[in-house]
Amino acid sequence: MTFPPVRSGKKRQRIGIFGGTFDPVHLGHLIAAREAAEILHLDRVLFIPAGRPPHKRGRSLSPAADRLGMVRLAIRGDERFACSAIELGSGDPSYTADTLRRLRQANRGSRLFLLIGLDQVALLATWKDPDRLFALATVCALSRPGFSSAGIGNQWRDRIIPVPVSAIDISASAIRARIKRGRSIRYLVPPPVEAYIMKTKLYRL
């Protein structure tokens, strides 16, 4: 699946790469992405819904079209946000190093910033080719409630940029659980995402 390079004029772009299952995308994602963009002076933040995340093989994901559609609805109107389907459409596992390599090729001259939560940084040693991430992008650790920089492995501690973002304790799993119980998700997801979920009856079963 193809996607357009993220460029504007001749300026060297600073592009944040923000991946996740986004099942569903929620306000915590948007706030973290926006604050990271401001702190790191990013020109663009590229939201990338995961295809088949290797670390979540035990859980079935909502259809890719639904997750992609919700992200597009969530970021609509924010000129700094964009969305890519680069990891979707393939039955193969999605590896961040491979995605970064493809994005680097498509956006030559730009500087990539990989935005990952502190909870994921603690698992970095289990990722595919973790050292290659640092050759392809500037790796940034977004603060997360309940996690500290002490979880960063010593081999990467000096190579990761800490990015303190607001502690918004919202999780996609909690949102899915609320929907199953018939509880409201208002103020947890953007209104267009809430409307999409209600219309499609996602997470009801």
% of residues, the chain, pLDDT over 70: 92
Query: Average pLDDT of the chain?
Result: 90
Residues 24, 44: Cα–Cα separation, whole Å: 21
Query: Which of helix, strand or coil describes residue 156?
Result: coil
Please state the pTM of the whole predicted model. Answer: 0.90
Tens of pLDDT, residue by residue over 42-60, are 999 999 999 887 766 667 8
**Domains of the chain, start order:** 14-170 (3.40.50.620)
Single out the residue of 15, 84, 16 nearest to residue 51, CA to CA. 84
Give per-residue pLDDT as tens, 163-194.
999 988 899 999 999 999 999 999 999 999 99
Give me the pLDDT at residue 3, please.
Answer: 38
Q: What is the DSSP string of 120-173?
A: HHTTGGGSSSHHHHHHHSEEEEE--TT--GGGS-TTTGGG-EEE--------HH
